Amino acid sequence: MQRQKMFLSHLLGAAALLLLAAPVADAAPDVTAPPPGTQAGRATGTRAGAQSGARTGARTGERGAVTPASAVAADTDRFDGYGFDTCVTPSLDTMRAWKSSPYRSIGVYYGGRGRGCPNQPELSKSWVSSVYGMGWKVLPVYVGSQSPCVAAEGKRKVTIGSDPAGQGADEAHDAVERAGALGMVKGSPLYLDMEAYDQSDGDCADTTLSYIRSWDREVARLGYVSGFYSSSDSGVAQLGAERRAGTSDLPSVMWFARWNGKPSVTGESSLRSQDWSPHLRIHQYAGDVTEEHGGQELNIDRNRVDAPVARIAD
């Protein structure tokens, strides 16, 4: 009887170890209702690749220690709630009017040669300070060079070149300089926007990863927090696979685009529940919708945010 108990004990222990070792997909227990007061909006399409079939195909990079999420989140200003991003920075009058909306954070496309709207007449250090004073939280988005196998035809003129690591470092330096000029100080997250690409193309995926990791290292070296935005089924899938493989120098905050209409930062199939958690995720859950608040209309993407936001100089 004692030998039988010992056998069962060893068997149960081995099973427990196997369960702990297995990768766990992100569960989806906390899907919340859409923000109150929003219009249904006009869904006029989805960003290329945001809903494409999953194609992991990620190549494993250099392995190393991954910074614990708790250490990253502890030294940042964090926002937990609803946000939006829009291509052209709205006027201060519009931002005042939108205080009647359920949103309290805004994604700002403040730099990068890949921006779809490079002309930003409203965006300035004064604008950032003013919206911060109104109670808005700012999510700085930098649209740098894009993957060589980017899906969007309009982005193919700004792809990563023959020196992805050098280019990543150079553009990270530019991202930090531009953020500082707008009054966003050290400790702020800078979100690198990498539009949907074919991560099943091994050479392309390797080039893209080299650029991202170099961008991450330089942003961190300069005292800012590296964030990353992409489609759940391309860039997010690749970085999720790299995280599982133990690859170092990956961005510290994950902003994933899956336009499923479910405003939750969990339940993402490309990520394990422990990845970029806690308080290090943004979910872009709807896109290209039009809303009106306070008499002001904007075309926006909707986001559920539980992540760091910009620190603004006094």
Distance, C-alpha 56 to centroid of its chain: 18
Q: Which residue has the tokens 């010992």?
A: 6
Give tens-digit pLDDT for 235-261.
999 999 999 999 999 999 999 999 999
Q: How confident is the model at residue 69 (pLDDT cuts 50, 70, 90)?
A: low
Q: Which residue has the tokens 């170092």?
A: 248
Give tens-digit pLDDT for 93-140.
999 999 999 999 999 999 999 999 999 999 999 999 999 999 999 999
Per-residue CA distances from 181 to 110, 186, 199 (Å) = 10, 12, 34
Q: How confident is the model at residue 143 (pLDDT cuts 50, 70, 90)?
A: very high
Cβ-contact 233, 249 below 8 angstroms: no
Distance CA 255, CA 252 (A): 10
Query: For residue 312, what are the contacts with CB-CB under 8 A and spacing of at least 6?
Result: 128, 129, 132, 138, 183, 184, 185
Cβ-contact 61, 241 below 8 angstroms: no
Side chain identity, residue 313: A
pLDDT score recorded for residue 71? 66
Q: How confident is the model at residue 19 (pLDDT cuts 50, 70, 90)?
A: very low
pLDDT score recorded for residue 15? 41
Cβ-contact 57, 240 below 8 angstroms: no
- Rounded to a whole number of angstroms, the distance between the first and last alpha carbons of the chain is 72
Q: How confident is the model at residue 25 (pLDDT cuts 50, 70, 90)?
A: low
pLDDT score recorded for residue 75? 77
Distance CA 254, CA 72 (A): 12
Which tokens go with 118? 């490079």
More confident residue, 314 or 120: 120
Distance CA 108, CA 85 (A): 7
